[in-house]
A and B are shown apart, each in its own frame.
Chain A
Amino acid sequence: MANNHLTSESKQLATWYLTFAAILFGAQLLFGLVAAIQYIVPGFLYGILDFSIARILHINALVVWMVFAMFGSVYWLLPDETGIETIGIKAGKLVYWIFVAAIVVVVLVYLFIQIGPASDATIWFITEGREYIEAPRWADLGIVVVALTFVANLFLTGIKGKQTGIVTVLMADMIAFAGLYLAGMFFTDNISVDQYWWWWVIHLWVEATWEVFVGAIAAYGLITMIGAHRKVVEMWLWIEVAMLFGSGILGLGHHYFWIGTPEYWWEIGALFSALEPLPLVAMFVHVLYDWGKTQGAQDANGDKNSVITNKPAFTWFVLNAFGNFLGAGIWGFFHTLPQVNLYTHGTQFTSAHGHLAFFGAYATILVGVMYLAVQGKNGIKVMKNTKTSIWAVSMISGGVMGMTVSLTIAGYVQVLVSRAQMGATWAGYFDGQNGLWFTQAMDWRLILGIVTFIGFLLLAKDLLTTGKDPVHER
């Protein structure tokens, strides 16, 4: 093995996944910046990289880097949790390269073939055209093979090794994660039916399986970083699973308000959307409770040192608790009930919610895992914050928060002008977008997007260099 601090091949594979995830994270931000510029200067790169393609790449890179980082996180924790090397690691490595190659080919095809006919060949080889999951069908099938191999590795290892609560939850969660992807792989003639299934992938991934995944990773992080009691953490994890699935699955109803599905979805959507923030509030308690109890126990023993063994990772994990609460909770809740969603649906409010929720709920914890991997790879006992790590986390979180506020202001203009005053008409759409508040908000979104990107560059630098920094305890 190249680095003797890595105790297993599974962890080595994890670092590959996490590294490629970080590269895609950068690509996501870069294409987001292009799209943000195009909002202000519509002719920017026209005919070279159209807005439609920049947006596809921005969003798909987001989804894919998170999936890569999630797979990497699982490969990282599996040997620690099960006590054995991951079974099928060679197959895992093979499908990693297949996955990477497929992503590169798909991106190149997006870049080189931006316009064309909507034929069966397009669906198979260029794009399926479904928002967020635009990958062509050949890549879809490849993703299924990759996901099944990953799930098989997880299951075989989980069954043979020690069966902790974290691994058990991950096994159940990842099979749902892989299975739900199938709902986005077929077309129906009726657009309402088509959208009905498509939301299974988008909503049930994000607001059910991904949130449970975050719960499991947070549990692992609290055990490894602050030495929280496993029984307490795992019991909490089960509560969280019950609450997240209990509210998240039928929270799906808030996507069924206006797509032609029966009216009872308004009531189901309203009820479960109102309940959805509860587990997010509870996650907040969880981190406070475990941190407070563990630090308190150490203080009582006369040891005033911090219980945290990886400060940068813990910073990102705490940011996750707040970010999830803010982005998914607050920014989700204030436009989710059908009475107000009638006005907010499809405005920049959705975009504001999307930016802060994806960042707060998922990006934060996955970056935290990257720091855990850096710590493990370099044999660091106590990892400390560096100036670069502090600047990176501040600029990225400040930038994303600023973008969210900007988009919220833009969305508010759309709600008032385009929807409430002008009744969602064609003229109203353009009047809203031409308003001074809207255009200024978009300018600020770009400026804060640049801040976020600079923060990312600092993050990349820190991840690449902090492992050798003598400031850490070894």
Chain B
Amino acid sequence: MLNPAIIRPEIALNDFLPIFVSSSLVLVFGGIYVGIYTAVKVKYLKPWVMVIAYAFWTLTSYCLYVMGSLMHVGSFTAKALVVAAIGLFLLPFAVYYMEDNVHKSNEHKT
């Protein structure tokens, strides 16, 4: 038997705007996090600025929480959103690690 809340979650009228804004900010803040992380790593910004990058990731997670709460997401979708938040946190680490190693190994060869 399906949970009726999944079929018709009944979002309050006043919640639509915060949902759209918070879900947009998820990616805006996420993009800023990744952008600052990369800029610090390629030495465009000073290392202490990384703290700001993490602050933006925290804001991303908060926006995901707000969005999920207002949408009344079920337990499965809530877990999916947590996975997405963790994925976004790890993404620049993993990508930078791999790219940098490939770069270094090729620079050593030449």
Please encode chain B, from 70 to 95, with 1 for each CB lying within 8 Å of some chain A CB and 0 for all others.
01110011001101100110011001
Q: Is B80 a contact partner of A274 (Cβ separation < 8 A)? A: yes
Given A235-B99, A282-B91, A288-B39, CB of A340 within 8 Å of CB of B106: no
A414 to chain B, nearest CB (A): 11
Identify the interface centre among A293, A339, A342: most chain B CB within 10 Å of its CB: A339
Is B98 engaged at the interface, CB distance under 8 Å to the other chain? yes
Is B52 engaged at the interface, CB distance under 8 Å to the other chain? no
Q: Which of B20, B34, B43, B83 contacts A285 (CB under 8 A)?
A: B34
Q: Is B71 a contact partner of A281 (Cβ separation < 8 A)? A: no
Contacts of A416 in B (CB 8 A): 13, 16
Q: Is A270 a contact partner of B76 (Cβ separation < 8 A)? A: yes
Contacts of B102 in A (CB 8 A): 229, 231-232, 235
Residues from 35 to 83 in B contacting A, C-beta threshold 8 Å = 35, 37-39, 42-44, 71-73, 76-77, 80-81, 83
B30 to chain A, nearest CB (A): 6
Contacts of B106 in A (CB 8 A): 229, 231-232
Q: Is A232 a contact partner of B9 (Cβ separation < 8 A)? A: no
Is A430 engaged at the interface, CB distance under 8 Å to the other chain? no
Is A343 engaged at the interface, CB distance under 8 Å to the other chain? yes
Contacts of B17 in A (CB 8 A): 412
Contacts of A175 in B (CB 8 A): none
B43 to chain A, nearest CB (A): 7
Given A274-B83, A278-B84, A292-B44, CB of A285 within 8 Å of CB of B103: no
Q: Is A288 a contact partner of B88 (Cβ separation < 8 A)? A: no
Q: Which of A292, A325, A333 contacts B38 (CB under 8 A)?
A: A292
Inter-chain CA distance A412–B83, complex, in Å, is: 29
B3 to chain A, nearest CB (A): 10
Q: Is B42 a contact partner of A296 (Cβ separation < 8 A)? A: yes
Inter-chain CA distance A282–B35, complex, in Å, is: 10
Q: Is B92 a contact partner of A292 (Cβ separation < 8 A)? A: no
Inter-chain CA distance A236–B39, complex, in Å, is: 17
B97 to chain A, nearest CB (A): 11
Closest to A288 in B: B38
Inter-chain CA distance A329–B24, complex, in Å, is: 9
B35 to chain A, nearest CB (A): 6
Inter-chain CA distance A282–B87, complex, in Å, is: 11
Is A415 engaged at the interface, CB distance under 8 Å to the other chain? yes
Given A232-B103, A285-B96, CB of A278 within 8 Å of CB of B88: yes
Inter-chain CA distance A232–B20, complex, in Å, is: 37
Q: Is B44 a contact partner of A275 (Cβ separation < 8 A)? A: no
Contacts of A437 in B (CB 8 A): none
Given A275-B87, A334-B24, A342-B8, CB of A270 within 8 Å of CB of B77: yes
Inter-chain CA distance A154–B8, complex, in Å, is: 49
Inter-chain CA distance A421–B98, complex, in Å, is: 50
Is A245 engaged at the interface, CB distance under 8 Å to the other chain? no
Is A337 engaged at the interface, CB distance under 8 Å to the other chain? yes
Q: Is B83 a contact partner of A275 (Cβ separation < 8 A)? A: yes
Is A100 engaged at the interface, CB distance under 8 Å to the other chain? no
> Which 6 pairs from chain A and chain B are nearest by CB?
A334-B23, A292-B42, A271-B80, A339-B71, A274-B84, A339-B9
Q: List 13 A-B contacts (CB under 8 A).
A: A239-B98, A274-B80, A274-B84, A281-B34, A281-B91, A285-B91, A286-B95, A292-B44, A333-B23, A334-B19, A335-B20, A339-B73, A343-B16
What residues make up the interface of B, taking CB atoms closer than 8 Å to A? 2, 6, 8-9, 11, 13, 16-17, 19-20, 23-24, 26-28, 30-31, 34-35, 37-39, 42-44, 71-73, 76-77, 80-81, 83-84, 87-88, 91-92, 95-96, 98-99, 102-103, 105-106
